[in-house]
Structure 1
Amino acid sequence: MPSMPSQEETPCPGCTGPLKDVVTGTCGHTFSRSRLLPPSQMGAQPSCQVLLCVLCKEKEPTKPLVVPVPLGPLGETCCEEHGEKVYFFCETDAEFLCVACREGPSHRTHAVGVLHGAAQPYRDHLQSQMEARSLEKKQMECTRRREDEKLQELLTHMHGKKQQVDEAFGRLRQELADHQCLLQARLRELERQIRLEGEAYTSRLSEEIAGLGAQVQALGEQLQRPVSALLQGRLSQYETKTFVTPETISPDLVKKIRDLHRKILPLPEMLRTFSENLAHYLDTDSGKQLGVWGPFSPPSTQSKAANRATRHVKCGA
């Protein structure tokens, strides 16, 4: 298997010499740095510049070149032009300089500082930014905790309101069930009284029918007697008493039935109105249009008495 050529053996496509200090342009071509740097910048290491690819002749955009990162501390970086260590930083051109570059004509009149001293403002700026971001982070965390507490309070409040709604409608269902039980008990009592009076009426009417049947039979027998025997009797003895038909239901029971009928008759309309008022009350902003009681009417003395009576009525009675 043939060995791969080393970087020193690979020729530079720009100068046909060996590749040295390789850089790669955004077009994808690789060259030696000496083929791309302008000759006027002595020992400079520009962070970005406009270059011209020697193969495709396309103008490179102003973007950082892909260059190898020097190993070791920044102070050990060597100048490519003079091979000396870099100790200075040109603030005018934003370039790293060695001693020879510092004394050269390109940077002699520029603002130049010691490398580590020049980096201090950047460190201070980064430190201030870090502290500002840390403070902002703490403030945002406090805001998040505060808002989380508010959300939890709202959720707890909503849970309590749900319980209040369940309790209110539970009481309403219980009240309606109690009133229903009361009405059913009164209806069952009226049914019982109707049956009793109906049985009494049927029994009395049956007795009268039986008596009339006996009289009919007796009169029939008299008709079969001979004329002599028939004429011996008096006509008055064959007269019958007028039968008075008894009342099927007593007036008192009729009054009770009518009273309960008047109570039950408006119930569907009352419940429908209550349902509409409740829906309207819940749809309004505060229920002020319906007054203090909302869809409910103020409890009257009669309704309170009915509620007390309801508690003593058993649904199975």
Structure 2
Amino acid sequence: MFTMQRLSGAYARARRLPIDSESKIIFFSDVHRGDNSLSDEFAHNQNVYYHALQYYFKNGFTYIEVGDGDELWEHSKFEVIRYAHSDVFMLLRAFYQDNRCHMIYGNHNVAFAKQHHIENMLFSFYDEYESFFNELFPDIEVPEAIILEDQETNGEIFVVHGHQGDFINDQIWPVMKFLSRYFWRFFHVVGFRNPASPAKNVHKRHKIERNFSKYIQMNKKMLIVGHTHRPKYPKENELPYFNTGCCIHPRNITGIEITNHKISLIEWRISPNDSGVLQIKRRVIRGPRPISDFMFF
């Protein structure tokens, strides 16, 4: 409901970042970092995600988190999440200190739409070992959307979480937060699916994706989103709709990479080698293709 208006509003308020042929960017979405309990859907992929982040940090990538990085619907206290995945946050802090970390908010961390929540949760943390408050992401901004401005083609890439206009997860999100915190958080541990989630509801997911396509047709914008948890890379002659997928699949995480002015859909997966030793491997699923193929001029 009101998807076109909500996406247009996010575009108007978006933070603008320049990119060029030297830019190297990794987009991850829907990490859903939790408290490392049985209800934490990210916990089983923490090592895969951490290994991938190490690769991107060492290779000079900029990290862009496309919403729902932290599971703030299920957990009222961010410090519980930060403590449960402290190694991940220390690596993200290293990206931020190097001016290579950008986050936008989604429906599950919509609290970051309020500046006082950003300041209270993200600026600093209490270091349990040193017994003092230390900087985490001081002065960080968490916008609703980011526009990447290509300095060489003057094209744009609109990056937004994608919950905008999804009635249950946008207009009545406080109700869904309440249900997630006190109901679905416990029920999905034993196999029940939340029918409000587009990741678990095929009809809902397809409706949202049709709205993305409608927005692209109307506004002539290349779009990178998350929210549905289904990775997407357009085929020949399809509209430039990209979806990062998510980081809570049972055995892998997926994301979007931009390098050398080209865009790819990638996954990181645990798989055995010929000797049966488990390894974390990166694989390109689709692409790479020049980003100029997908831009409107």
Q: TM-score, normalised by structure 1?
A: 0.17
* Structure number, greater radius of gyration: 1
Q: TM-score, normalised by structure 2?
A: 0.18
